[in-house]
Amino acid sequence: MDSQIVQQVPEQGRQDRPRGVIPIAAIQFVVSALIWLPSGLLLLNDAILYHRYAAAAAAPHALITLPKRSHPYYEVVVGLPLCLSVIGVLTGIGLLRLRSWARRVTLCMATVPAFACVAYLKLHHPKYVSDALFVVQDFTNVLAGCLLTILLPVSIWWWVFFMRADVRSRFRLKSQQARESTPMS
């Protein structure tokens, strides 16, 4: 009788999560932090500048002026990365809990940036300044190409992993169990 109980415990533990879910969730957590880190530092820098120099800039004959940033600037530079970071963290948590919505959102998060890089490389044609010496050229195509070199293999890896039949069935099973276990109000 005791040997049957001991043998059943490992069987139940094997149903937890597919092997690649933890690294993918970890990548999402790290990338989410890295997306918002520059925006957070910029916001912190602006707050320090305003705190430090606001009184000096408000004087009638002030020699110092504070940078004026518009609301759309903060929405794009701070708000958008923050929203993407929150989505990434929530999706990582959903992956660890084997939620099927997290699998679908992860596939979108793997696909949309790669397609955006391809579209940018296809549509953006930089203008070169040929007669000026020591002019920094438009390097955004190089940046988009480097990003695509990183994003394309990751996107393919995630699509191959999450579209496997055993992985999809585990996510479906876990989501069904979660739906059945929540009481209806």
Residue 122 φ then ψ, to 5°: -75, -40
Indicate the average pLDDT of the chain.
82
Residue 109: helix, strand or coil by DSSP? Answer: helix
Q: Which residues of the chain have pLDDT under 70?
A: 1-15, 55, 62, 64, 66, 127-137, 184-185
pLDDT for 27 equals 94
Letter string b/e over residues 98-109, b meaning 16 or more CB atoms within 10 A of that residue's CB? bbbebbebbbeb
Residue 26's identity, in one-letter code, is A
CA angle 89, 94, 95 (to 5 degrees): 95
pLDDT for 5 equals 46
- For the chain, report the end-to-end CA distance as a whole number of angstroms: 41
* C-alpha dihedral (27, 32, 33, 37), degrees to nearest 10: 140
pTM: 0.73
pLDDT for 23 equals 94
Q: How far apart are CA 135 and CA 131, in angstroms?
A: 9
